[in-house]
Structure 1
Amino acid sequence: MLQTLSARRLLTSSATIDFPVLTIDGDGLIVSIEPGAAPASSDTTLTSTFFDIHTHGGASHDVMEATPEALGIVSRFIAAHGVGHYLPTTVTAPVDKTLASLEGIARAIDLASTTDWDARLARPVGIHLEGPFISHAKRGVHPEADILPPNISLFDRFQQAAGGHIRLITIAPEVPGSLDLIRHCTRNGVRVSIGHTNAASDEAHAAIEAGAQSATHTYNAMRPLNHREPGVLGTVLDSEMLFAELICDGVHVAPELVRLWLKAKGPQRAILVTDSMAAAGMPDGDYTLGTFAVRVAEGRAFAADDLTKGQHTLAGSVLTLDRAVANVQRFAGASLEVATGLASHNPAFLLGLERAIGYIAPGQPANFNVFTASGELQGTILGGAAVA
């Protein structure tokens, strides 16, 4: 049975269509997109759904639990906040724990590619391996004992456990062995992101030459900017080659530096992520991120062990991607078109999935976010069905 969907405008990766009328078939696929007459009352905008390439969980569950129940709850939660696709993201943990988590996440990814998957849930389409190949100096809350030097054989074990689904990996490029691993990952189609790094500028440039294409949560867990030694941060902001993630929650990065990031990277290379953990969508309290304890207070997530020492080390976020999109409009004056592109088209381009995710055309799944005239998310449609 066919259904129709109309709006004031439709934003695609390449065009703005005024007064679109979309026909959707019973399988939740777009049949046609045609111009229509001006609607009598609708002032909504349709966009692609979001693609979060850096999320550890939400709704009280961590993706490293890797059970069907936990991943199903996370998928439902983030779908309600506009996410259509995502990369479940691991954190540094003992090798055996990481291998087991990768196996469980891989099973969910395989299921999400079949008709048995509930179309109203966000689909996991790959894995972001954040750690263990990071810097001790900029580890953030990643457990120090489980950080390991870059190792191609170990990465291959991880990828085998993941059924080939690791699509993105965070690596500190200054650590010995990292450039060989970056080249290995790049040759095998895995995108490399520079992160949790104390790299100097020349080390960051070497990573780019080896194949790195992105930066993990820009500003955070990076050597700070210096006007004589720009370091990794200066290189990330300056390089036309790199995409750059940002956690736009007003906690991790000040609004002034959100504006600098967007000016530096432009609307084609900036990527919004959440870095959300299990506490996203939950009240303040005690939670876990991977294998370690986190305490959330007043919307900020901190490593619980560090709090007992009087330190305040941020441990992921409680951000949702719809709020990140709203915040970048507010902090940086970004248009809705730009803001939604940072959370949908840009991550898809980074991963080479621009024709599979967020691509609006006949024959593609009817996945849309619906925004009000003021730029707030009003609802989400996945596979032609409204997400509750």
Structure 2
Amino acid sequence: MNAEGKTLYVNGKFYTSFEMIENGQMLVDETGKIEDISHEQLEFSDDFKVIDLKGNIVVPGFVDVHMHGGNGYEVMAGTYKDIDEISKFHASHGTTSFLASTAAAANEDLIHVLKSCASSFEKGVSGAELLGVHLEGPFINKRMRGAMDVKQIRLPDLEEMKQFIRTSEDTIRLVTLAPEVEGGLELVEYLHDKGITVSIGHSDATYQEVLQAVQHGVRHTTHHFNGMRPLHHRDPGVAGAGLMMNELIVELIADGIHVHPAVVKFLFQTKGTANICAITDAVKSTGLRDGEYADVHVKDGKIFLSDNPETLAGSSLTMMTGLHNVLQYTGLPLEKVLPSFAIVPARKAKVDNRKGSIEKGKDADFLILDDDLNLLSTFVKGKKVHGPVGLLI
């Protein structure tokens, strides 16, 4: 909450979900919500704080639905400090809200992490807002495990999933699973009926199996092209199904490593920005120097398993870098790319009623950028959580 009352932002270039407003004004109320936004002068009283944006750009805050850690901290550590430090680190790179992503692990370990996430959700964090949990695994296909621990991968279990949901205090918003394995479709139906976004990932499903999964409720793909049956002209697989099926929103790690820049451009040409969900898949070593960290080796931004240098183990990407990369790879203007970083992931996390765009009545989650799209400040619910100390913006 903004204890100092209402704040009026003037002289900014605002990118809303509908238009770009030159020399616009935005009024944020005491609760951190956008009260009004206009290209005309808004009415204000003497007790308003007025901030001159000096012609800088204002865009919606980024929503990351797939992120495991950063700056030496990770979700699977299962502590409030880890979640809080992750939230601060990613806020400094343009993320204003996120889902805490898990990994395949023993039941007791996942229960511990889910309890920690539920507690952190209730308490609140210092940087980007914690929206809930993305449960990635353990119900995936061993053949497409990637960096997941093969010993912790198991068949879908409805009772175990119910236990996860109870333990998380209903904060699980997204689940990645392989629908083609035994029990997969039953779990898809259950989650879909619960209003939880179901994503196909770490999957060796055929095109026909993906079609069947979509009919049961799958609406999302996890880190598209990675950890899935690839596209072949005689076997479209999960990768091809994601490109062809309108029901599926596809995740994209736009680091130029997980997906070639030319394929990133192709994806935007094929699916369009409204059907692409930009993510980081950032891990504990994101933001750290090259070197050896626990079970991974980091070099030139690439993260590999130490015992298997051919296997990528997450990314070192941030949302801000991802935006710059997509703009470079595709040649698209800023307004065409922003939905993939904001409103699309907000929909997948079921928070698009209050996140993902600069609109009247929504949370004042926004970024202030200069003309070169360098991040100056990050605001969450009207509160600055990243930016130069002592400067208004």
Q: Which runs of 5+ in 2 are unaligned?
A: 42-50, 388-393
Checking the alignment, whether the CA contact within 8 Å between 1:275 and 1:316 is kept in structure 2 is yes
Cα distance between partner residues in 2 of 1:283 and 1:40: 37
The one-letter code matched in structure 2 to 1:68 is Y
**Cα offsets for 1:21-76 (capped at 9, x unmatched):** 11234443333223247x99944221110000000000100111121111111010
Which residue of 2 is the match for residue 324 of structure 1?
Answer: 322
The one-letter code matched in structure 2 to 1:281 is G
> Which residues in structure 2 correspond to 1:172-321 (within 5 Å)?
172-288=178-294, 293-307=295-309, 312-321=310-319
Cα distance between partner residues in 1 of 2:297 and 2:143: 23
Cα distance between partner residues in 2 of 1:326 and 1:298: 18
Judge which range, 146-155 or 357-366, deviates more. Answer: 357-366
The one-letter code matched in structure 2 to 1:284 is D
Please state whether the residue corresponding to 2:272 is helix, strand or coil.
Answer: helix
Checking the alignment, whether the CA contact within 8 Å between 1:2 and 1:24 is kept in structure 2 is yes
Choose which of 337, 342, 347 in structure 2 pairs with 1:344: 342
* Cα deviation, residue 165, structure 1: 0.8
The one-letter code matched in structure 1 to 2:24 is P
**Cα offsets for 1:70-114 (capped at 9, x unmatched):** 1111010011111111000001111111111111011111122xx
Please state whether the residue corresponding to 1:374 is helix, strand or coil.
Answer: coil
Choose which of 17, 28, 44 in structure 1 pairs with 2:21: 17
Choose which of 140, 143, 152 in structure 1 pairs with 2:146: 140
* Cα deviation, residue 370, structure 1: 1.6
* Cα deviation, residue 278, structure 1: 0.6
Cα distance between partner residues in 1 of 2:61 and 2:74: 22
Which residue of 2 is the match for residue 35 of structure 1?
Answer: 39
Distance 1:24 1:142, change over 3 A: same
The one-letter code matched in structure 1 to 2:101 is T
* Cα deviation, residue 376, structure 1: 3.4
Checking the alignment, whether the CA contact within 8 Å between 2:90 and 2:318 is kept in structure 1 is yes
Count of residue pairs brought into register by the alignment: 373
The one-letter code matched in structure 2 to 1:150 is P
Cα distance between partner residues in 1 of 2:66 and 2:264: 18
Checking the alignment, whether the CA contact within 8 Å between 1:7 and 1:45 is kept in structure 2 is no
Checking the alignment, whether the CA contact within 8 Å between 2:9 and 2:53 is kept in structure 1 is no
Checking the alignment, whether the CA contact within 8 Å between 1:274 and 1:324 is kept in structure 2 is yes
Cα distance between partner residues in 2 of 1:238 and 1:364: 33
Which residue of 2 is the match for residue 129 of structure 1?
Answer: 135
* Cα deviation, residue 384, structure 1: 2.6
Cα distance between partner residues in 2 of 1:41 and 1:111: 32
* Cα deviation, residue 318, structure 1: 0.7
Checking the alignment, whether the CA contact within 8 Å between 2:355 and 2:362 is kept in structure 1 is no
Checking the alignment, whether the CA contact within 8 Å between 2:17 and 2:359 is kept in structure 1 is no
Cα distance between partner residues in 2 of 1:40 and 1:148: 55
Cα distance between partner residues in 2 of 1:41 and 1:130: 40
* Cα deviation, residue 372, structure 1: 2.4
Choose which of 46, 50, 71 in structure 1 pairs with 2:58: 46
Cα distance between partner residues in 1 of 2:28 and 2:53: 21
TM-score (norm 2): 0.90
Which residue of 2 is the match for residue 106 of structure 1?
Answer: 118
> Which residues in structure 2 correspond to 1:55-134 (within 5 Å)?
55-112=67-124, 117-118=125-126, 121-134=127-140
The one-letter code matched in structure 1 to 2:150 is E
Distance 1:145 1:159, change over 3 A: same
Cα distance between partner residues in 2 of 1:99 and 1:362: 38
* Cα deviation, residue 207, structure 1: 0.8
Distance 1:145 1:41, change over 3 A: closer
* Cα deviation, residue 313, structure 1: 0.5
Q: Does 1:335 align with 2:341?
A: no
Cα distance between partner residues in 1 of 2:260 and 2:276: 16
* Cα deviation, residue 7, structure 1: 4.1
* Cα deviation, residue 13, structure 1: 2.0
Alpha-carbon RMSD: 1.8
The one-letter code matched in structure 2 to 1:160 is R
Identity of aligned residues (%): 32
TM-score (norm 1): 0.92
